[in-house]
């Protein structure tokens, strides 16, 4: 996936001289996850820039660059190190278009490696999507597959609005039948996709939890459940149509994500589904999420992250008896 | 119109310099003692104490690095090459003072007397902070850069309000000085005349980014002038110089003189962490050049030259370091006893009903797992 993301930036930079990549260690080193590897060499340090170590400064400078017509792609080194930039994000990036009546759109992409499961010490495993979702004016997207990583990042860079691009860091090393020579067509931001068709219940998920849900769906076959897995891909905008079509078909839904459940994305998603599909639902929409705790140390993270068992337990609680 | 005529100008013109910057300016040559004539006046006992601590510190670094290779530590940001500054920072403090280390400063915490295993929990991955900061007067090793600096200012300020002559010593890397928190902390400290010492360890790189891409300032110590506090440049590999300059800053802070910014010029001999590949951004020749200026060898040379270090003393230091390393190895080789239920400990003073529910869920899962 790291390679697909890098290819997306390379193609965008080659096509449009306004695209600039910047962040900590993105140049010579190619980023701590090597996602920007080679870009500085190919496009020069003015197009792929090692910045001083200051997230607020990086994003604030990106705002000014965007005002002057550039399209900055900013890398935040890790989820929890993006927090110093929240001031710029919330006070300026997200509302600049609105407060200037469209005069100053903010075509900025903020790439954030996020999520746990890589054994990182504290501040290296946060799932911060709820904060971004709660800020109107931002797009929030997250790929779960290699082709999507390419397609979504191309779409994000092409977008004239700010996009928080959440990269599930434990999927960086995932491989796929994907050739950098024939990248998939770029889909617009905002479409969910059915990753696995099924009829008994729908698992609504995104990013790092997609592979977990696909595995759970396979395991569920033994229990006689045929689970559909919907990969949301974009949290803002939200694809009500694809989600509701699935839930109406299956009549049951579980939302799965690793970020904390309370005040988390699952609550919003469950509410939307309930509002739109109430008469089609055979059971309340359930949530499987990380516990409501600060991300735990690596030696305990497996107890925190929602795994296959926890997903299956939730599926089992979907009031199957009531159906007959 | 002169500035004085501006509306709102009071008796004291706002544009007039409030402090003469000259005494605040650092000497552009890093302060050195070892190998110079000034070294003759150094206290023998102090030098030997520094030597023991350096040998101990070096061994701690090599042992911790070895533990990453055995998978016993998730990660270790080594301070090999920076021991003089780490150790001096710990030794200049009184028991009542506080240390505010960054994630690279495990050694400073250990040199202050913390049990190495407790100091390493963050990096082993069994807990975020394995010691009691109040008891040890060592704030949690800070992972987000520079964020601990305002804490140091606040603590020092509070101590002064309480009438206690407590000093806070806060450590940060060269990269960390670019963060907004660094600026805000220094400004607060200077305005409040808080008893804080800021120690910047300039080890050349922030991961891959060299100092030249981090700052255009003449030196990091020069930044002090803009805040109205003295800046000092020190050879960070010279343990005696580090001890002197830090002691002086601590004394100044303790006696109401306000904060000081110290830049220790040193070098990171190892990669950023064991997960980093330093060959991508620096040349071996540079590393080799710094090896000739190794902090342990520097002090050893001084001591030997003055006939203060005999084989016995050298052997005793090495032996003590080896004993620490063996003990550390032994205790780190045992898996820590972890209770997954600790996930829910100390989130709040009183757990929320939701957390109680979630902990019951985990308990049931664990029982099911055990029963399988
Ligand atoms: C706010 C924040 N941003 C980014 C990081 C990721 N990061 C960890 S260490 C590091 C480099 C730090 O360099 P420096 O301050 O010079 O300290 P050194 O590692 O050299 O001791 C970076 C960018 C972080 N920990 N915190």
A252-311 residues touching B, CB cutoff 8 A: 262, 291-294, 296-300, 303-304, 309-310
Quick check: A122 contacting B, CB < 8 Å?
yes
Per annotation, catalytic residue among B183, B281, B313, B314: B281
Contact assessment for residue B227 and residue B290, using Cβ atoms and an 8 Å cutoff: no
Residues 56-95 of A with CB under 8 A from B: 56-57, 80-81, 83-84
Question: Is the distance from CB of B344 to CB of B132 less than 8 angstroms?
Answer: no
- Is the separation of the CB atoms in A254 and A204 below 8 Å? yes
Sheet containing A48-50: give its strands across: A48-50, A19-23, A71-75, A109-114, A163-168, A139-141, A234-236
* A303 is known as an active-site residue: no
Q: What is the pTM of this model?
A: 0.95
Q: What is the pLDDT along chain A (324 residues), one digit of tens a residue?
A: 999 999 999 999 999 999 999 999 999 999 999 999 999 999 999 999 999 999 999 999 999 999 999 999 999 999 999 999 999 999 999 999 999 999 999 999 999 999 999 999 999 999 999 999 999 999 999 999 999 999 999 999 999 999 999 999 999 998 887 777 777 777 889 999 999 999 999 999 999 999 999 999 999 999 999 999 999 999 999 999 999 999 999 999 999 999 999 999 999 999 999 999 999 999 999 999 999 999 999 999 999 999 999 999 999 999 898 654
Q: Is the CB of B181 under 6 A from ligand 1?
A: no
Write down the ipTM of this complex.
Answer: 0.94
Q: Is A50 exposed, middle or buried (0-12, 13-18, 19+ CB in 10 A)?
A: buried
């Amino acid at each position: 996936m790291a390679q697909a993301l890098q290819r997306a930036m390379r193609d965008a930079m080659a096509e449009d001289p306004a695209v600039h990549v910047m962040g900590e260690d993105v140049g010579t080193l190619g980023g701590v996850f090597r996602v920007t590897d080679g870009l500085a060499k190919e496009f020069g340090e003015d197009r792929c820039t090692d910045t001083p170590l200051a997230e607020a400064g990086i994003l604030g400078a990106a705002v000014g660059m965007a005002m002057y017509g550039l399209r900055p792609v900013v890398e935040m080194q890790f989820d929890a190190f993006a927090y110093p930039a929240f001031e710029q994000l919330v006070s300026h990036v997200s509302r600049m278009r609105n407060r200037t009546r469209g005069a100053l759109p903010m075509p900025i992409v903020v790439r954030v490696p996020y999520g746990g499961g890589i054994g990182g010490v504290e501040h290296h495993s946060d799932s911060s999507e709820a904060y971004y979702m709660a800020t109107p004016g931002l797009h929030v997207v997250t790929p779960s597959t290699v082709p999507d990583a390419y397609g979504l990042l191309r779409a994000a860079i092409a977008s004239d609005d700010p996009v928080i691009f959440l990269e599930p860091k434990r999927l960086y090393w995932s491989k796929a039948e994907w050739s950098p020579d024939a990248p998939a067509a770029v889909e617009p931001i905002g479409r969910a996709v059915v990753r696995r068709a099924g009829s008994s219940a729908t698992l609504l998920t995104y990013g790092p939890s997609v592979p977990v849900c696909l595995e759970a769906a396979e395991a569920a076959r033994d229990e006689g459940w045929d689970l559909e897995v919907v990969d949301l891909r974009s949290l803002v905008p939200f694809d009500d149509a694809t989600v509701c079509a699935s839930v109406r078909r299956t009549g049951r839904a579980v939302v799965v994500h690793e970020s904390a459940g309370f005040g988390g994305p699952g609550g919003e998603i469950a509410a939307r589904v309930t509002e739109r599909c109430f008469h089609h639902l055979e059971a309340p929409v359930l949530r499987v999420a990380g516990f409501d705790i600060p991300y735990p140390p690596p030696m305990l993270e497996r107890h925190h992250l929602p795994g296959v068992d926890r997903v299956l337990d939730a599926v089992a609680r979907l009031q199957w008896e009531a159906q007959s | 119109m002169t500035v004085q005529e501006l509306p709102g100008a009071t008796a004291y013109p706002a544009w007039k310099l409030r402090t003469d910057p000259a005494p605040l300016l650092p000497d552009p040559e890093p302060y050195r003692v070892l190998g110079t004539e000034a070294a003759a006046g150094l206290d023998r006992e102090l030098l030997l104490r520094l030597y023991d601590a350096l040998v101990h510190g070096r061994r701690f670094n090599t042992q911790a690095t070895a533990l990453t290779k055995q998978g016993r530590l998730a990660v270790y940001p080594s301070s090999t090459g920076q021991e003089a500054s780490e150790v001096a920072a710990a030794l200049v403090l009184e028991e009542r003072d506080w240390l505010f280390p960054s994630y690279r400063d495990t050694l400073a915490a250990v040199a202050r007397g913390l049990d190495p295993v407790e100091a390493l929990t963050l990096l082993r991955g069994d807990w975020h902070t394995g010691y009691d900061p109040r008891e040890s007067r060592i704030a949690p090793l800070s992972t987000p850069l520079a964020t601990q600096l305002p804490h140091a200012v606040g603590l020092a300020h509070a101590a002064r309000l309480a009438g206690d002559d407590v000093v806070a010593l806060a450590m940060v890397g060269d990269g960390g000085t670019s963060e907004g928190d660094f600026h805000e902390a220094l400004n607060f400290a200077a305005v409040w005349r808080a008893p804080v010492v800021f120690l910047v360890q300039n080890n050349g790189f922030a991961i891959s980014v060299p100092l030249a891409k981090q700052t255009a300032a003449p030196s990091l110590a020069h930044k002090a002038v803009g805040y109205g506090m003295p800046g000092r440049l020190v050879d960070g590999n010279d343990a005696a110089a580090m001890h002197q300059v830090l002691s002086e800053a601590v004394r100044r802070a303790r006696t109401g003189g306000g904060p000081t910014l110290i830049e220790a010029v040193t070098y990171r001999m190892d990669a950023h962490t064991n997960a980093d590949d330093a060959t991508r951004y620096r040349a071996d020749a540079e590393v080799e050049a710094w090896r000739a200026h190794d902090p342990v060898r520097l002090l050893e040379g001084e001591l030997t030259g003055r006939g203060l270090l005999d084989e016995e003393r050298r052997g005793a230091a090495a032996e003590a370091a080896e004993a620490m390393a063996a003990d550390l190895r032994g205790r780190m080789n045992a898996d820590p006893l972890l209770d997954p239920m600790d996930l829910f400990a100390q989130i709040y003073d009183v757990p929320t009903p939701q957390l109680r529910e979630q902990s019951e869920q985990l308990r049931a899962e664990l029982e099911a797992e055990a029963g399988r």
